[in-house]
Amino acid sequence: MRDRLLRGAQLVALIVAVTIQITNCLPQLIANQHRFGPWWMEVAGFTALTAVAGVMGAMLLRRRSWSHRLAFLLAGICIAASVVASIPVPARLLLVADDWSFGIAGWYIVALLLRTRLPVITGFLGLHAATTVAEIAVKGMPERYIAALMGLAAVSVLGVQIAVALLAALLGRTAAAAGKAAEREERTRIDEEVGELTHRDHQERYARLLDTTVPLLTGLAYGTLDADDDTVRRRSAVEAARMRQLFAETDDVSDRLLHELRAGIDIAQRQGVSVQLAVRGEIRDVPHPARRELVDTAATALASARTTARATVMRTPTAVRVSVVADAPHDTATTIERAPRTHTRVTTTTNDRTLWTEAVWQTRSP
């Protein structure tokens, strides 16, 4: 927002300066042709200022901003052009209508330096005024009342130009503050939306857990299920792994997939299962729904393992694969295959007392 505002202010200042140069300065330049000394000096100054205007206009129309170094160089050219154009003008006519270059050079300086700090603009305008005062001193100071009129004219022109620069600086600060406020508001809105989606997602997860966890706990509490039964123990381990995964989803970590998978590994290890983990590839940003399906598949296999399991995470530019090899019962494959999923593809294979399952999230076609 601040950048657009300053570009617009520079464009307006440039249009004002070009209008003044064409409507006021050009007629005065033509009128001075036979009045003073070498007219070519005034033409050279006018041409230099026109070139500065052309450079500014081209960059603004292309929406390109110039560096401070280029702005300072062009501002120096404006001051030099004003000095050259005013050399033929007598001292008593400087800073009045006959000296057309003083005011227009100041306007170009303001347009060039609007992106800098206000002290920089006033410093260049002060240098511009100082060169004119030095020129007057070299040519000879005029009468007091003429000097007073010259000073009044200089103060009037510089006052308006500094006021424009001050207004642009205030607008720039206001735009910057408004931009930061808009960014904060946008971040807050996004955080609220993410929080709402996360809360809704957790509610859905809790609802699904109620369908499986509550009957299990109820059966254990009323004695209808035997805690020593292998099937019940596997069901308990699977539900514990799902709950640990749910809790792990709220942790702030760099590798969420591996963090949530380790929650399932921890449950298996607490059951006395020896688990090995292999990770290949760089960390990938996996969407939450896909990450959950990847971890759910692995956690079910790990929780069903009897003594040993090996989990592998393979991350490539085109896919993320999570596989588990475990000495789990064959019915675990059925449990995994029946689980609802929309973001991953699952393959299971059983061989004697060994289960192999792999969940794949495809990022794009290879």
Task: Tell me the domains of the chain and their CATH numbers.
Answer: 2-184 (no CATH), 226-362 (3.30.565.10)
Given a contact cutoff of 8 angstroms between Cβ atoms, the answer to whether 337 and 270 are in contact is no
Q: What is the pLDDT of residues 39-82, one digit of tens each?
A: 899 899 999 999 999 999 898 888 887 788 898 999 999 999 99
Q: What is the pLDDT of residues 250-264, one digit of tens each?
A: 666 788 888 888 888
Mean pLDDT of the 117-125 span:
89
Instruction: Return d(Cα 263, Cα 239) in angstroms, integer.
Output: 12
Q: How many percent of the chain have pLDDT more than 90?
A: 21
Sequence-separated (6 or more) residues with CB below 8 Å from residue 120: 113
Band (pLDDT 50/70/90 cuts) for residue 168 is confident
**pLDDT at residue 365 is higher than 60:** no
Q: What is the pLDDT of residue 1?
A: 58
Instruction: Return d(Cα 125, Cα 106) in angstroms, integer.
Output: 6
Band (pLDDT 50/70/90 cuts) for residue 247 is low
Mean pLDDT of the 118-143 span:
86
Q: What is the pLDDT of residue 108?
A: 92
Band (pLDDT 50/70/90 cuts) for residue 97 is low
**Spatial CA neighbour of 337 closest among 300, 307, 306, 286:** 300
Mean pLDDT of the 166-177 span:
77
Sequence-separated (6 or more) residues with CB below 8 Å from residue 70: none
Mean pLDDT of the 75-95 span:
87
Q: What is the pLDDT of residue 245?
A: 65
Q: What is the pLDDT of residue 364?
A: 64
Q: What is the pLDDT of residues 285-306, one digit of tens each?
A: 888 889 889 998 998 899 888 8
What are the two backbone dihedrals, phi and then psi, of residue 47, each rounded to the nearest 5 degrees?
A: -65, -40
Q: What is the pLDDT of residues 184-197, one digit of tens each?
A: 888 888 878 777 77
**Spatial CA neighbour of 356 closest among 328, 330, 331, 324:** 324
Instruction: Return d(Cα 69, Cα 152) in angstroms, integer.
Output: 32
pTM: 0.52
Q: What is the pLDDT of residue 310?
A: 93
Tell me the pLDDT of the chain averaged across its residues. 83
Mean pLDDT of the 223-246 span:
71
Highest mean pLDDT of the ranges 105-109, 115-119, 178-182, 232-236: 105-109
**pLDDT at residue 318 is higher than 60:** yes
Q: What is the pLDDT of residue 213?
A: 74
| Mean pLDDT lowest among 12-16, 20-24, 71-75, 175-179 | 175-179
* Between residues 61 and 233, the one the model is more confident about: 61
Q: What is the pLDDT of residue 124?
A: 92
Q: What is the pLDDT of residue 241?
A: 67
* Between residues 7 and 212, the one the model is more confident about: 7
